[in-house]
């Protein structure tokens, strides 16, 4: 959704023209695939992180315009609400000391952004959901001052035709309504990109879908919303409900939500783009001047602008991406599962685990998706979001027994997935020192059963036990989180509790 769009009304002819253009784009994609016009393997990965702005009191600051003006870097962009921004790291080739280089670039970028934010009494907080957000913060007046967000909000609200219902039952229950999509802005994530050839795309996407639950289990970092303790990773249910264009009647009919796990394993990237057209009406029917088929016939590479825009309004947890670099088209798998934070070390550890395990699973002679029913993979994702590192998952049994069996998420990661991730990183050519350090972070989280979500909950409860009110405990926990985030040691080493809570005794 990085396209610059201009707000305005759409009529029936706009939508029909856009649908026709989408079909021509899909035909263009099909021809590009048949002609094998796509980029050859370059082992390229990319990284985006959505961030929060908060003051010294831990409360959100609606200042992204002012902060971005001071940062003055193309690496940083607006996000949906005024307390959000996003940092983009240039693509890197997987191999060597890539993860150490990424970590250094991220630390430098975030430290610079934090200094600039400090000029307006704000700071950068890298966390899945800012615990101090209040319902009054997530209103349409706090949308970023960018036409595309206003237009997207207006179109989703119009498609739904009524208030959005937020209803998440976890440790506690949250039930409320919203007149806009702004609650989606509470969800700040890490997006991991992997460029792949068309021939490898399906295997990589299927592997990524299979491991979403393990990613969430070890990386959960979003247990609070509006003062309530919900799921260990509350972003997926919140995002799903905050972007849901379906009124209850369409939900009852089984119409698919725009935030979607999917419903089957695939055999080509084309299937995902085709599903997006078949199942989801256009939200932003903005037509480009280019005719994709004429561009192809003239020997050019079409931008497929309508297809790209439409694809950006279907929120798959593993999204197919079409792009052009140096005049050559390519495909990427965009993994959108992980929350932001807690530290740069944790983010890079999560990335190393993902890139390693996906490589190994995608090349397995007996693919996991041939032994794991898709609906089980989806149920695993749901369980991991609810219970985080304490989740129990279903996974194919080893040996001749066959079928699937229940396993603790930490046992699955330690005994099966970490060795696969190690082999996958070796296949990418990653230096053993980088491999061992970052996978060691995942191992330690599992051994101690600690991640960002468990630390947040334990520290919040310690504050309440020490006599702080719930709101004061959440604010104190957020301030302590931001402090430890900037120190930078991995979250499994963080001491539980906040100094001010101890002072209350």
CA separation for the pair 309, 314 (Å, rounded): 9
pLDDT of 9 above 70: no
Q: What is the mean pLDDT of the chain?
A: 94
125-134 in b/e form (b: 16+ CB < 10 A) is bbbbbbbbbe
The whole-number average pLDDT for the span 401-422 is 95
pLDDT of 2 above 50: no
The whole-number average pLDDT for the span 30-35 is 96
The whole-number average pLDDT for the span 328-357 is 98
The whole-number average pLDDT for the span 225-231 is 97
pLDDT of 333 above 90: yes
For 269-282, the pLDDT digits (tens) are 999 999 999 999 99
pLDDT of 135 above 80: yes
pLDDT of 11 above 90: no
Q: What percent of the chain has pLDDT over 90?
A: 89
pLDDT of residue 148: 83
5-35 in b/e form (b: 16+ CB < 10 A) is beeeebeeeeeeebbebbebbbebbeebbee
pLDDT of residue 41: 83
CA separation for the pair 166, 157 (Å, rounded): 14
The whole-number average pLDDT for the span 323-330 is 94
Q: How confident is the model at residue 375 (pLDDT cuts 50, 70, 90)?
A: very high
pLDDT of 407 above 50: yes
Q: How confident is the model at residue 7 (pLDDT cuts 50, 70, 90)?
A: very low
CA separation for the pair 34, 32 (Å, rounded): 6
pLDDT of 505 above 70: no
Question: Is the Cβ–Cβ distance between 128 and 187 less than 8 Å?
Answer: yes
CA separation for the pair 217, 350 (Å, rounded): 11
pLDDT of 8 above 70: no
For 47-87, the pLDDT digits (tens) are 999 999 999 999 999 999 999 999 999 999 999 999 999 99
| Higher per-residue pLDDT: 127 or 247 | 127
pLDDT of residue 60: 98
Question: Is the Cβ–Cβ distance between 140 and 156 less than 8 Å?
Answer: no
CA atoms within 13 A on the CB side of 373: 8
CA separation for the pair 322, 256 (Å, rounded): 23
Burial level of 367, CB count in 10 A (0-12/13-18/19+)?
A: middle
pLDDT of 472 above 80: yes
pLDDT of residue 15: 83
CA separation for the pair 327, 347 (Å, rounded): 31
Instruction: Using alpha carbons, select from 117, 2, 1, 119 the residue that is nearest to residue 60.
Output: 117
The answer to which of 28-37, 142-151, 292-301, 372-381 has the lowest mean pLDDT is: 142-151
CA separation for the pair 53, 123 (Å, rounded): 5
CA separation for the pair 483, 342 (Å, rounded): 11
The answer to which of 71-85, 208-222, 337-351, 397-411 has the lowest mean pLDDT is: 397-411
């Amino acid at each position: 959704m990085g396209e610059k769009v201009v707000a305005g009304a759409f009529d029936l002819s706009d939508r029909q023209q856009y649908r026709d253009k989408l079909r021509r784009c899909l035909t263009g994609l099909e021809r590009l695939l048949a002609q094998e016009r796509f980029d050859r393997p370059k082992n390229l990965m990319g990284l985006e992180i959505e961030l929060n702005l908060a003051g010294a009191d831990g409360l959100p600051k609606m200042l992204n315009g002012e902060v971005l003006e001071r940062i003055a870097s193309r690496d940083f962009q607006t996000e949906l609400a005024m307390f959000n921004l996003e940092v983009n790291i240039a693509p890197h080739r997987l191999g060597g000391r890539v993860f150490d280089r990424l970590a250094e670039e991220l630390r430098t970028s975030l430290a610079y952004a934090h200094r600039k934010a400090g000029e307006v009494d704000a700071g950068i907080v890298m966390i899945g959901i800012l615990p101090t957000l209040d319902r009054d913060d997530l209103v349409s007046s706090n949308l970023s001052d960018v036409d595309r967000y206003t237009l997207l909000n207006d179109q989703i609200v119009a498609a739904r035709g009524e208030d959005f219902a937020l209803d998440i039952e976890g440790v506690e229950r949250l039930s409320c309504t919203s007149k806009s999509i702004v609650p989606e802005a509470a969800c700040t994530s890490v997006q991991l990109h992997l460029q792949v050839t068309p021939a490898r795309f399906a295997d990589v996407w299927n592997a990524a879908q299979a491991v979403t639950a393990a990613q969430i289990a070890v990386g959960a970092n979003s247990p609070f919303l509006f003062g309530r303790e919900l799921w260990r990773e509350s972003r997926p249910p919140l995002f799903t409900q905050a972007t849901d264009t379906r009124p209850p009647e369409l939900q009852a009919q089984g119409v698919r939500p725009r935030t979607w796990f999917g419903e089957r394993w695939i055999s080509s990237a084309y299937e995902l783009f085709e599903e997006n057209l078949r199942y989801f009406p256009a939200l932003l029917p903005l037509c480009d001047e280019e005719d994709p088929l004429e561009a192809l016939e003239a020997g050019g590479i079409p931008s497929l602008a309508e297809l790209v825009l439409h694809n950006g309004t279907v929120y798959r947890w593993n999204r197919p991406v079409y792009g052009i670099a140096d005049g050559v088209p390519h495909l990427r798998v965009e993994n959108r599962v992980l929350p932001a934070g807690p530290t740069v070390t944790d983010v890079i550890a999560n990335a190393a685990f993902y890139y390693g395990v996906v490589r190994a699973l995608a090349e397995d002679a007996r693919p996991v998706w041939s032994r794991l029913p898709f609906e089980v993979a989806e149920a695993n994702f749901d369980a991991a979001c609810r219970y985080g590192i304490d989740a129990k998952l279903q996974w194919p049994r080893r040996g001749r027994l066959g079928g699937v069996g229940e396993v603790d998420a930490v046992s699955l990661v330690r005994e099966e997935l970490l060795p696969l991730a190690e082999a996958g990183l070796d296949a990418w050519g990653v230096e053993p020192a980088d491999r061992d350090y970052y996978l060691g972070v995942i191992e330690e989280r599992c051994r101690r059963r600690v991640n960002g979500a468990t630390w947040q909950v334990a520290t919040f409860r310690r504050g309440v036990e020490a006599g702080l009110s719930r709101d004061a405990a959440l604010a104190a926990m957020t301030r302590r989180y931001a402090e430890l985030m900037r120190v930078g040691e991995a979250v499994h080493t963080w001491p539980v509790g906040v100094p001010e809570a101890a002072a209350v005794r």
